[in-house]
Amino acid sequence: MANSLFENTYNPDVLTCLANLSNDEVFTPPTVVNDMLDMLPQELFRDPKTKFLDPVCKSGVFLREIAKRLIKGLEKEIPDLQERLDHIFKEQLFGIAITELTSYLARRSLYCSKWASGKYSIVKFKNIQGNVRYKALEHRFQGGKCVYCGASEKTLGPKTRLAGAESHAYEFIHTVKPEEIWNMKFDVIIGNPPYQLNDGGGTGTSATPLYDKFIEQAKKLSPRYLSMIIPARWYSGGKGLDDFRDRMFKDKRLRKLVDYFDSADCFPGVDISGGVCYFLWERDNPGDCEIEGHLNNETKKATRPLLDDSFPSFVRFNEAIPILKKVFATKQKPFMDIVSTRKPFGLSSQITGIKESPFPESVKIYAYPKTGYIPLLSVPENRDSINAYKVFIAKAYGERGKFPYLVTSRPFLGERGTCCSETYLQIGCFSTEAEAKNVISYINTRFFRFLVLLKKNTQNAPKSVYEFVPMQDFTEPWTDEKLYKKYGLSEEDTTFIERMVRMPGEEYK
């Protein structure tokens, strides 16, 4: 009994322990690091000239695991162990720490000492940092934002930041000439960059992505191979990621993409909306991409173009490709055409002055958390649809836990004489209540929600997530059975859909 308890709870690798902690700075488990290293040509670890860079050192796990492979791979080339260690640590492994604290941790992982010149370091450097450097920097603010990373001067400026607090001005992306940091060429750049940084927007909790900046900066160094693990929400663009997404999907040098829809399958105990992914970019070997999807303890692989000519954007699930091809073969207009943009009536979610009861020249407003009545004249836009029937649906819907997902919130009827705040999107503008209810019947199918899921990689559900959904004739109601038959879906297709999507009231399978 005691031995069984020991075997199940003892974790001998401190970096695995760190990776199991939920934190804003996500530490990479050694197992994931090795999966990423397995994507590289293994002869790199038998070549004494190969140079590796981790430009975003945290725990030092990437460099440590590379060192293990080099120590074994160069055994014949450099038989003497100390001579081999000296060569590997001084000539082949380089890192840039993201904070002073992580620089200590990374050196401790790599050199067995936080000081590379100390007596406990397994390799003696002349300088205390060795090849894992850290340089404290400040942001360069212009108009209240950092010109390099978009950080908010209000939250991270030297005058407002708490004394001794980290600036988060990461050296690798706070320069226009990253090649001058080390003044050398790297064969492999690999790491797990910081994901986002508060930009001071919204109510003060808005954040701007950072990982794209590290990837673009790494490409400037023109390594032979580039691999990073990042949130998968870049698939959908938005929040400054549109250009980055387009460049990535059009880049034929992106040769492998490993996708985890549930981030906890990759980072135990860490919840990242939309999942995570890591990739291999090969400078000298363009071609199609091998897409490896991890879902519900299953792995599916397919080699295909990242962008298929049959439909307009990237599809992360390999099993969805044949379904989408059958849907797009009908050449129907997209349902997206009848979905409003943000603020369908020009009313923000912060609207005030809502009355509980109707009054002369008032209109009913659906808002959150309060639904009530406001003056008709206070509605700035789209007044012509107030007296039509329509459907309302939340513009954001988040869900955690295991599959299958609901994907969207419950749609509801927007009767005549109603409008909504930006909490909701408006769907359609109909002359009869029956048509609006038929739209609701369509939204409440697994088929509909599955096609939304293919575009919805975060809790946000703007107009664009409905791009893959085809339009229907709303003079009649819709069911999954009718839709499966209409699009000629196979049993394999429908089984996959029903594994991915559950309906309101259904329990997890």
Q: What is the pLDDT of residues 412-458, one digit of tens each?
A: 999 999 999 999 999 999 999 999 999 999 999 999 999 999 999 88
| Across 24-36, average pLDDT | 86
Q: What is the pLDDT of residue 108?
A: 96
* Per-residue CA distances from 1 to 8, 10, 11, 261 (Å): 11, 14, 18, 36
pLDDT band at 75 (very low <50, low <70, confident <90, very high): very high
- Whether residue 314 contacts residue 241, with contact meaning beta carbons closer than 8 Å, is answered with no
Tokens of residue 399, six digits: 């869900």
Taking a C-beta distance cutoff of 8 angstroms, is the pair 69, 35 a contact?
no
**Among 120-124, 203-207, 237-241, which stretch is predicted with the lowest mean pLDDT?**
203-207
Can you tell me the mean pLDDT for 152-163? 86
Are the C-beta atoms of 469 and 449 separated by less than 8 Å? no
For 84, which DSSP code? H
pLDDT value at 10 more than 50: no
Q: Give me the domains of the chain, ranges plus CATH numbers.
A: 13-225 (no CATH), 328-500 (3.90.220)
Does the pLDDT of residue 200 top 60, yes or no? no
pLDDT bin (cut points 50, 70, 90) of residue 460 is: confident
The confidence score (pLDDT) of residue 13 equals 54
The reported pLDDT for the residue numbered 420 is 97
260-274, 278-292, 344-358: the lowest-pLDDT one: 260-274
Retrieve residue 336's tokens: 């997206």
Give the number of residues written for the chain. 509
Find residue 208's DSSP bridge partners: 197
H helix or E strand, kind and range, residue 392:
strand 389-394
Work out the pLDDT band at 6, boundaries 50, 70, 90: very low
Give φ, ψ of 221 to 5 degrees: -80, -5
Q: What is the pLDDT of residue 312?
A: 81
% of the chain with per-residue pLDDT over 90: 77
State if pTM tops 0.85: yes
- In this model, does residue 201 exceed pLDDT 60? no
**Predicted local distance difference test score (pLDDT) of residue 16:** 53
Helices (H), 353-422: none
For the chain, the distance separating the N- and C-terminal CA atoms, rounded to the nearest angstrom, is 33
Mean pLDDT value of segment 12-16: 51
Helix (H), strand (E) at residue 258 = strand 254-260
Q: What is the mean pLDDT of the chain?
A: 90
Q: For the residues 227-240, what does the mean pLDDT come to?
A: 90
Q: Are 193 and 158 in contact (CB under 8 A)?
A: no
The pLDDT, as a whole number, for residue 22 is 34
What is the number of alpha carbons within 13 Å of residue 20 lying toward its C-beta? Answer: 8
- Confidence label for 207 from pLDDT (cuts 50, 70 and 90): confident
Q: How confident is the model at residue 34 (pLDDT cuts 50, 70, 90)?
A: very high
Task: Give the residue with greater pLDDT, 308 vs 279.
Answer: 279
Question: What average pLDDT does the segment 366-370 reach?
Answer: 93
Share of the chain above pLDDT 70, in %: 92
Give dist(CA 333, CA 331) in Å, integer.
7
> What is the rounded average pLDDT of the residues 34-48?
98
DSSP letter for each residue of 406-455: --S---EEE-TTEEE-TTEEEEEEESSHHHHHHHHHHHTSHHHHHHHHTT
At 239 the pLDDT is 78
pLDDT at 470 exceeding the cut of 90: yes
Structure tokens at 224: 């032979």
CA 395, CA 443: separation in Å to the nearest integer?
A: 14
Sign, Cα dihedral of 498, 502, 507, 509: positive
CA distance 27 to 59: 7
